Amino acid sequence: MANSDYYAALGVRRDASQDEIKKAYRRLARELHPDVNPDPATQERFKEITQAYEVLSDPNKRQMYDLGGDPFGGAGAGAPGGGFGAGFPFSDIMDAFFGTATGGARGPRSRARRGRNATIRVELDLRETAFGTTRELQVDTAVLCEVCQGVGAAPGTHPDTCDMCNGRGEISQVTRSFLGQVMTTRPCPQCGGFGSIIRHPCQECSGDGRVRTRRTIKVRIPAGVEDGTHIQLAGEGEIGPGGGPPGDLFLEIVERSHEIFERRGDDLHCTVQIPMTAAALGTVLTVETLDGAEEIDVRPGTQSGQVITMYSRGVQRLNETGRGDLLIHVNVETPSRLDPPQEELLRELAKLRGEERPPGKFAPGQQGFFSRLRDAFNGR
């Protein structure tokens, strides 16, 4: 391959960066690797791109190649009988397939690991979610073992170095393949990759470094939370195995329904029923709000379905200033039963207003069933 174009072999420009060259090689290695495609022609192509990558990934060899010199000095990966030289990028082949190189020392794993997150449900009424509150919560969780302080070994003892891996946490194995001798590593089966063995575990925590208990925490619920809100309490979750850092605690807010108000975002809605006479003449009503009883004016001629807005009587906005509104929906009641004097008075009123036989007023869109069905077929 002395006269080959290494850049063309990898499909990159002559001014390609090292990152572009590496990505191109990984992509081709996944397609042409003999384990994926054993065809002899493909194996030759695989050797070509490997030699090209070995040259172009090395700044010195690449410079020599660009100047027309021999980047291998007469003995390289592609030299006859030379096999794969010391510069063969085996780790990059493994990286192309597995995302990590084999043979690299990783060292023992730490027994201390981060604890899990936990979630508890907190039920609140509307007033508590609107204005905020403070709660004391009972949490069943894992805490640091006070006997061994998270080490996991019984008092007076300590973990022993694993005699199989000598504390490395992994063992190496050499195998032969078409590439030559390949060294692979895997976690030590005796110590589980920790590099040490607890021969005398703590009796309190059974070597886990933590115990389960119930503790009480005091939390502040901010104003404006609603049903489904999650509050994160950093570091209030479970202590991790081996005395590792704690996870987080999440509070899931569950808002109980209110007997009067319906919440829609930061606004509150309710319905008030008033008699026909009060709607016609106007009146003053006493209504309940989250701030206590307050009076509102019902203007003369109020119609059923109208909305009276009490500004800033809703829920406090979460993490903001100001509050939502209270919207009162008016429902005008028509009497269904009248005694003779009441009926006589209403008839007299209807006579005075010329409403003994009212013509009726139909608003646009108030069609009958058959009219709506006809329009649906006509595509209106």
- Binding-site residues from annotation: 145, 148, 162, 165, 188, 191, 202, 205
Return the closest-CA partner of residue 104 out of 168, 18, 191, 20: 168
Show Cβ contacts of residue 334 under 8 Å, excluding neighbours closer than 6 positions.
Answer: 276
Block residue for tokens 């692979």: 184
Strand 283-289 with 292-298, pairing: antiparallel
Torsion of CA 368, 369, 374, 375, to 10 degrees: 70
183 bridge partner residues: 174
Q: List binding-site positions for Zn(2+).
A: 145, 148, 162, 165, 188, 191, 202, 205
273 bridge partner residues: 331
Q: Tell me how far apart the alpha carbons of residues 56 and 63 are, in angstroms, rounded to a whole number.
A: 8
Residue 249 near residue 140, CB atoms below 8 Å: no
Block residue for tokens 């990558």: 53
Q: Tell me how far apart the alpha carbons of residues 151 and 141 are, in angstroms, rounded to a whole number.
A: 19
Which H helix or E strand runs over 177?
strand 170-177
Q: Locate 21 and state its tokens.
A: 């060259």
Q: Is 322 helix (H, G, I), strand (E, B) or coil?
A: coil
Q: Is 146 helix (H, G, I), strand (E, B) or coil?
A: coil
* Angle (CA) 280 281 286, round 5°: 105
Q: Tell me how far apart the alpha carbons of residues 328 and 298 are, in angstroms, rounded to a whole number.
A: 11
Q: How far is CA 132 from the centre of its chain?
A: 25
Identity (one letter) of the amino acid at 168?
R
